[in-house]
A and B are shown apart, each in its own frame.
Chain A
Amino acid sequence: MKNIFAVAGVVIKELYRRKDFYVLFIVTILICLVMASVNIFNDDKIVRYLKEICLLLVWISSLVIAITTTARQIPAERENRTLLPLLAKPLTRMQLVLGKFFGCWIVCGLTLLCFYIFFGLLAGSREHQWPALDYFQAAMLHWFMLGMVVAMTLLGSLVFAAPSSNSTICFVVVGGILLVGRHLDQVALTLPEPARGITQVIYFSIPHLEIFDTRDLIIHNWPLIPWKFWGLALLYALAYSSVFLAGACLAFRRKAVN
């Protein structure tokens, strides 16, 4: 485990020494503050549109950080030849893959922590309430969803030729699942065979990332999600992440390092 966390530590250092996170965070803050300064019929209690805009930016930023950070990990190691001195140490390839996964996932977690703290402050400044448990549930679901995305992107980085193509494909897949993943079974019913069968197979095999999108519950102050379902969702995310990671480990075993 120490090797895994050693590799993860390097990934975390890379995050706070690159500009990606800071740029996205500052852009989010600026846009939210501009939106907050808009005068809407002289009412300063209107807050939900602001919460929605902020959460949308948080989701977009977190996905950008998750996918772009992960997509370049192993390809950059190969391209920069830092992989050779690394694998010449008593470090297995599986430990390297897991280390990269945990590093990127922890990076996502730290990013989300900053974003959600800002979101909480922004919403709280108008609502004068801080439903910490609701935010905690939403943030954890979001984090575990990003875990699935990171694992998927890591597998993609070992399958696809270039980080750019991997990133593009991951963005398209993740965006597609978030927008229409829930409705694929309905769409399947309107299609003739064999398209119906294929769509249903896709529906049952994709990771349903949209389950973890609880923005509506947060924006509109719905009650807490029952903890058992929340826990099951986290387990679902761990299961899918494990599947992707297993695939990544298998793919990396066969990959040439130079």
Chain B
Amino acid sequence: MTTILKADKLRVEYRSREMRQAAKVALAGLDLEVHAGEVFGFLGPNGAGKTTTMNVLLGFVPPTSGSASLFGIDVRQPIARQRIGYLPELTYYYKFLTAEELLRFYAKIFGIPRREADQRIDQLMKLVELEHARKRPIRSYSKGMQQRVGLAQALINNPDLLVLDEPTSGLDPLGRMKVREIIQRLKQEGKTVFFSSHELGEVETVCDRVAIIHQGELKVVGRVDEIKKAHHANLEQAFLEIIGFQTQPAP
């Protein structure tokens, strides 16, 4: 199987501004591989290192040691991001632009020819159901509409790898269903999806494999059903057990 995303002994330390305090270790030697065509869930409690991992993969933060690559290209090279789409957790875009202008801007950065970009924009506007609002400035959009614009911009370059950071955060049940449908459709098209989420129910439904990270360390990686079987519990209970949370016995 082709490895699309690889992290090799990835370590990230943040130096503290206080003189006497030691550096904070956000990632402690993370080894991770995501194969082509799979939907990979990246789970962990708050502060586990999920966002830091994504920041390294996207080139926002340089690793202290170790390496990471996308499609075999080091993540520090801008070309590594040519075939990926990224949806951040908090979606903010240029408020003075319309959705159409925003997508056209990103299409230019990807070097998509004008005609092809127009076609992609039309398709994406239909997909995320923003055709009626495509010429309105983004400042007039609701939170849900902004999230959908975010999804559209993540798909503008027809990416082979989609990196989603909490994609259903802040969405109503209908919105979440739409996102799940899009993820499943991408999978059917052979795309790879790498996403982090707290919604374990969703993860169970869509993911092929998951990794659970806690305090910067990878605790477990594998298929969902294998993890459930190993811990004789549903995914939520298995997750809590893996991160070391003791559940209270029922009264």
Contact = CB atoms under 8 A, between A and B. Distances in A.
Interface stretch (B53-61, B188-196, B207-215, B235-243): B53-61
Contacts of A17: 96, 137
Given A17-B96, A81-B90, A82-B92, A89 B109 contact: yes
Contacts of B105: 6, 9-10
Which of A14, A88, A91 has its CB near the most chain B CB atoms (within 10 A)?
A88
B88 interface: yes
Q: Which of B80, B84, B92 has the most CB of A within 10 A?
A: B92
Interface string B75-110: 000111110101110111111110001000110111
Contacts of A88: 58-60, 81, 84, 86, 88, 163
Contacts of B72: none
A88 B111 CA distance: 15
Given A6-B108, A9-B105, A89-B110, A256 B94 contact: no
B84 A10 contact: no
Nearest to A257: B60
A91 B79 CA distance: 8
Nearest to B107: A6
Contacts, number: 74
A3 B109 contact: yes
B150 interface: yes
A90 B78 contact: yes
A133 interface: no
A10 B105 CA distance: 8
Interface string A1-37: 0110010011001100110000000000000000000
Nearest to A76: B94
Interface string B142-176: 00000000100110000000010000000000000
Nearest to A81: B92
Contacts of B84: 88
Interface in A117-175: none
A148 to B, nearest CB: 27
**Which of the listed residues B78, B80, B93, B154 has the most CB atoms from chain A within 10 Å of its own CB?**
B78
B81 A90 contact: yes
A257 B96 CA distance: 21
B81 A89 contact: yes
A250 B94 CA distance: 25
Closest 9 CB pairs of A and B: A88-B86, A6-B108, A17-B96, A81-B92, A90-B78, A90-B82, A89-B109, A90-B81, A257-B60
22 contacts: A2-B111, A3-B109, A6-B105, A6-B109, A10-B97, A10-B105, A14-B94, A17-B137, A18-B96, A80-B92, A80-B94, A81-B90, A81-B92, A82-B92, A82-B93, A82-B94, A85-B93, A85-B150, A85-B154, A88-B59, A90-B79, A90-B109
